[in-house]
Amino acid sequence: MSNPFDGVRWIWKNGQLIDFEKATVHVLSHALHYGSGVFEGIRCYNTKQGSAVFRLPEHIRRLENSAKVYRMPISFTGEELIEACCETIRANELPSCYIRPLVFRGFGHTIGVNPLQNPVEVFIACWNWGKYLGEEAESGVDVCVSSWRRIAADSMPAVSKATGNYLNGQLIKIEAVTNGYAEGLALDARGFVSEGSGENVFMVQDGVLLTPPLAASVLQGITRDTVVKIARDLGIPVREEQIPRGQLYTCDELFMTGTAAEITPIRSVDRNPVGQGCPGEITRRIMAEFKGIVSGEIADRHGWLYPVGAAVPQAAAVTER
Ligand code: PPE
């Protein structure tokens, strides 16, 4: 397997591009001890019209909101962060990539849970990320229902994409992969379907597309929103509603969505086949529309593609530390 970081030379740190190897942190950084970070995952596509970042302003807005929950002031405006993402992609000369802005509490000569005296650091990295759930994922993956519940909405807010939330995600993922599944679907604290360790979930039942509401401890996924809008465009009825576990075994179609996972069909849950055990018609129609938009073959009617812009000369763009 090729290394996703091959050829990646620059990482953006607090306003400047620094060498990949120098993008390190102090071991006493608050985030390492207490999970005090928020982040984004964004994809840049090599479209027919040039490199473009999918729904970049929406991702940056969510990052700002994630930080707001934990009272982490970011000393860059949304516009500056948008430009910083593009600058990082251009500097690394990647026609398509995955972008990871990370905001966290660093080392501030104090220790203890209280984060308020620790400096807020901002990094942006990017790399090549292929199929998140395996090369065969497009024909459907096998999932289990996790024995771990998603974090209750009044324990840790799922709407904030915080690094600490991913300890719960790791329990879900580790259990799934060690038992031979690609992913685990977690139930929320009340026992309704919530989401995967890194994906939202959708099901098709009698021609209607269903997805759990935000109250089911789900991340407000940008791919989730994209799929809802595509479905409406295609005339497919969509509803957000609480989904009892049993429906996972009886629905006609099931798929997961996420920036990394894009749209991944599910072919079985706890070894019970979903529908015919292969991607269903509505799933395939939505996948085709999504692919068409991100490749630039279908008109970007919602204005989702943010052009990275022309590559600027390295000397002007890059300041080495
Ligand atoms: N739920 C969770 C828990 C989640 O982490 C993601 C994204 C989603 C839903 C889908 O959200 P969106 O990307 O906005 O459609 N997970 C990111 C991180 C994956 C990782 O392993 O790292 C991602 O897909 O980028």
User: For each successive 10 residues of the chain (321 residues), what is the average pLDDT?
Assistant: 88 98 97 98 96 98 98 98 98 97 96 97 96 92 98 94 98 98 98 98 98 98 98 98 98 98 98 96 98 97 94 46 37
Distances (CA, A) of 276 to 200, 233, 250, 265: 22, 26, 11, 12
The pLDDT score that the predictor gives to residue 311 is 61
| 220 occurs within a structural domain | yes
What single letter denotes the amino acid at residue 230?
I
Please work out whether the CB of residue 259 comes within 6 Å of at least one atom of ligand 1. Answer: yes
| 4 occurs within a structural domain | no
Please work out whether the CB of residue 219 comes within 6 Å of at least one atom of ligand 1. Answer: yes
The pLDDT score that the predictor gives to residue 319 is 45
Q: Is 54 in the same domain as 105?
A: yes
Please work out whether the CB of residue 195 comes within 6 Å of at least one atom of ligand 1. Answer: yes
For residue range 66-99, list pLDDT tens digits in order.
999 999 999 999 999 999 999 999 999 999 999 9
| 147 occurs within a structural domain | yes
Residue found under tokens 């529908």: 275
The pLDDT score that the predictor gives to residue 320 is 41
- The pTM for the full model equals 0.95
Ligand 1 centroid from CA 110, angstroms: 32
| 5 occurs within a structural domain | no
Please work out whether the CB of residue 160 comes within 6 Å of at least one atom of ligand 1. Answer: no
Taking the CA of residue 98 as reference, the ligand 1 atom at the shortest distance is: 25
Residue 213 to residue 21: CA distance in whole angstroms: 41
Torsion angle of the four alpha carbons 294, 295, 301, 304, in this order, in degrees rounded to the nearest 10? 30
Q: Is 66 in the same domain as 125?
A: yes
Q: Is 266 in the same domain as 142?
A: yes
Helix (H, G, I), strand (E, B) or coil at 292: helix
* Domain at 28, CATH number: 3.30.470.10
Q: Is 69 in the same domain as 149?
A: no
Q: Is 70 in the same domain as 16?
A: yes
Distance of CA 131 to the CA centre of its chain: 13
Q: Is 198 in the same domain as 231?
A: yes
Ligand 1 centroid from CA 42, angstroms: 9
Number of structural domains found in the chain: 2
Q: Is 89 in the same domain as 14?
A: yes
Taking the CA of residue 222 as reference, the ligand 1 atom at the shortest distance is: 14
Q: Is 114 in the same domain as 157?
A: no
Distance of CA 89 to the CA centre of its chain: 18
Residue 288 to residue 123: CA distance in whole angstroms: 34
Please work out whether the CB of residue 223 comes within 6 Å of at least one atom of ligand 1. Answer: yes
Q: Is 235 in the same domain as 113?
A: no
| 287 occurs within a structural domain | no
Ligand 1 centroid from CA 1, angstroms: 22
Ligand 1 centroid from CA 316, angstroms: 34
Taking the CA of residue 165 as reference, the ligand 1 atom at the shortest distance is: 3
Please identify every residue annotated as catalytic: 161
- Identify the domain containing residue 116 by its residue range: 10-129+302-307
Please work out whether the CB of residue 221 comes within 6 Å of at least one atom of ligand 1. Answer: yes
* Domain at 230, CATH number: 3.20.10.10
Cβ-contact 209, 236 below 8 angstroms:
yes
DSSP string, 163-186: GGGHHHHHHHHHHHHHTT-SEEEE
Please work out whether the CB of residue 260 comes within 6 Å of at least one atom of ligand 1. Answer: yes
| 288 occurs within a structural domain | no
Q: Is 116 in the same domain as 222?
A: no
Q: Is 38 in the same domain as 154?
A: no
| 319 occurs within a structural domain | no
Q: Is 71 in the same domain as 17?
A: yes
Ligand 1 centroid from CA 294, angstroms: 18
The pLDDT score that the predictor gives to residue 1 is 53
Which residue owns the Cα nearest ligand 1 atom 4? Answer: 198
Q: What is the DSSP letter of 71?
A: T
| 114 occurs within a structural domain | yes
Taking the CA of residue 224 as reference, the ligand 1 atom at the shortest distance is: 15
